[in-house]
Chains A and B, each alone.
Chain A
């Protein structure tokens, strides 16, 4: 078998995510079983020790994210994987990771909710929970792949973004993306671009300020045990990392958390534009729903309607300028999603009321069929 042929695999999304994580340098996974994400924990429990990494099954999702944040402070690239109920449990510590600026990757394989909901059915109903789940104003980076190849590269992107931005980053798959299988050619390691957190270069006698923003607003990060002792807290803190009640410093610190994402937004944005240049009807769809949407756009074109698809791969930060450009000629915008209208609120905010906006929504555990989106495009 040729080298090339050896690299061609037929993988599920959960497998591709696991392999992407390993390729990105993930060496610590703490997790708790939950459908439909469990295959990631299963896969990594077998693979991590083979590369000298660590897998630990924690007692719940709260502990899982606590462990990956701790391991990240000790210098590892870390990940956990869960689904809706587990995501709900992780929210407090997710906020801790954002506040204390600790890189890590959280995979959320979306299933139906609320509550136990539909454990093995697809859904996209965490889209707002991913944005606003933890309390307080906080920075959010979410990547939402729609194919197995994109899961693999999207997972690597998540690790890169986490290391670049010093923040937890979320890979949001829906159950279809996680469980379907597609062909993928695994790239050679040297073909990949891998980011690492920037380390401080402190000379003896100099102080290290763990929360002093660099030019790109992201502070450089020392690992525990490297010889630079510092303090990490979830309390509002100053550049030294110690708690502060100073209103000016708190205001500045809280704002910087959001500004660092906004400032570096262009590095984090990925999206696909499909037949948008002359689109009079624009479909905005993400994840597996975008696959149905693409088919619907083609079908509509065959029927003489100038339809196009804008597919955010980065859900947050919002690719607002690209979305506005894609919708430049659109009279109508349709947002199909497997929830009762969540990302449509974002689209509405970005496009304002100059276009007619409507959703195609389904929460019955079935994927949205192209025909339903086509009907919406045709105005039926």
Chain B
């Protein structure tokens, strides 16, 4: 039986603020399908965000929800998870929120390996403030603060997460809901810190400034820019050059922070 989205939505908060053509709504639906599939009780779920378009997500969802300051969602989420490890903590953030102002929290949350799932709604631009270049704006792409094209190299969210120690790293495109569902479920099932780089086209600011066309034109671009990591072996190096792999890119077993701390508490009891 198909799930009822309204079971998880605060209907009275609709309509949402996102623009026509924006991919954020499809990511939200994937998150909800994943929570439904995992049968998490609504009372046990906390959704935390920072500031930006993506960060309006919690307000629409019928969970325990927290809309924090710019870049700091992971810091708040860390406190929630550590104080009550029984809670399922999901953090949603934009590329600017998580990779620029919140970059330090991002890498250290990866390092700690708390059981938190971070979904980065990556649209390569600051949408809410009007289309400024972000740390994932492609080199040469325009933003209102990069009117001649960005001269800096962007961060790769997944490479950052991997390098900093996240125990689960995946990338999916908003246009492929099946793949998005699959990686978000796997991310939530992973007992540790999971990062999903969820690409979402910003037609209003990125698309228009860069003349990438409509939402569907932008999705076509995303398809051209990416490849399925499972097919990576079959592709020639030049077919992968400059492109981004999709799917589960990294998964390792690492002790989760709260479990480790609980062991410490137990060992201190034993010592008494």
Contact = CB atoms under 8 A, between A and B. Distances in A.
Contacts of B69: 66, 92-93, 96, 234
A54 B63 CA distance: 25
B86 to A, nearest CB: 7
On chain B, which size bracket covers the interface?
A: 35 or more
B interface: dominant SS: helix
Interface in A54-100: 54, 56, 58-60, 62-76, 78, 92-93, 96
B59 A233 contact: yes
Interface in A222-242: 224-227, 229-235, 242
A52 B67 CA distance: 29
Nearest to A53: B265
Given A224-B64, A227-B43, A233-B67, A62 B80 contact: no
Contacts of A234: 67-69
Contacts of A63: 72, 74-75, 78, 104-105, 108
B104 A73 contact: no
B261 A231 contact: no
B256 interface: no
Nearest to A240: B12
A58 B78 contact: yes
Contact of B83 (A28, A227, A231, A232): A28
B84 interface: yes
Contact residues on A (Cβ < 8 Å of other chain), bracket? 35 or more
Tell me which of B72, B77, B105, B108 has the highest count of chain A C-beta atoms within 10 A of its own C-beta.
B72
B96 to A, nearest CB: 16
Interface string B12-42: 0100000000000000000000000000001
A319 interface: no
Given A63-B104, A63-B108, A70 B87 contact: no
A30 interface: yes
B65 A232 contact: yes
B79 A68 contact: yes
Interface of B: 13, 42-44, 46, 48, 58-59, 62-69, 72, 74-80, 82-84, 86-87, 104-105, 107-108, 261, 264-265, 268
